Homo-oligomer: A and B are copies of this chain.
């Protein structure tokens, strides 16, 4: 009985973080990063969104050619994006995380409702591959970001 209780505590400890593997630790950091990004996007603060990205991060922007590289360019991209349309809703759902030391990747899905000026709100859904890196301050930040919309037939 007592042995069973101790065993139960051990299992509880494992499940609540006492012995997280690297991927579980990364996942917690990544989900915290996603919460910060969503909160900043919903209040329209592009500079705050950019703080979730590493200084030398790269975005592959679906609707623009090339890539957007580095903190200054990423902050400008997000300011412009949030000035063009505000987010009424934004959900990021993590499906898969795997980590190796300070580097990890996440596969997930997004669901966004945006509104440009007084136009009708637009719902968009899609998937993303994001590479995260743990910074020297211990926070996980986005190192590379590749979001793609679902194909029209999937809506």
Q: Which residues of A pack against B, CB within 8 Å?
A: 58, 60, 62-67, 95-96, 98-105, 107, 127-129, 131, 133, 143-146, 148, 150-151, 153-154
Contacts and interface: CB of A to CB of B under 8 A. Distances in A.
B58 A107 contact: yes
Given A105-B143, A127-B67, A60 B148 contact: yes
A58 B145 CA distance: 16
Contacts of A103: 98-101, 103-105
Chain A at the B interface: mostly helix, strand, loop or mixed?
Answer: strand
Contacts of A66: 127, 154
As for how many copies of this chain the complex holds, the number is 2
6 contacts: A62-B148, A100-B103, A103-B105, A105-B144, A129-B145, A148-B148
B100 A153 contact: no
B129 A129 contact: yes
Given A65-B154, A107-B58, A154-B65, A129 B144 contact: yes
A62 B62 CA distance: 10
A23 B145 CA distance: 19
B58 A150 contact: no
For A67, A95, A146, which residue has the most chain B Cβ atoms within 10 angstroms? A146
Nearest to A69: B96
Contacts of A58: 96, 107, 129
Contacts of A105: 103, 105, 131, 143-144
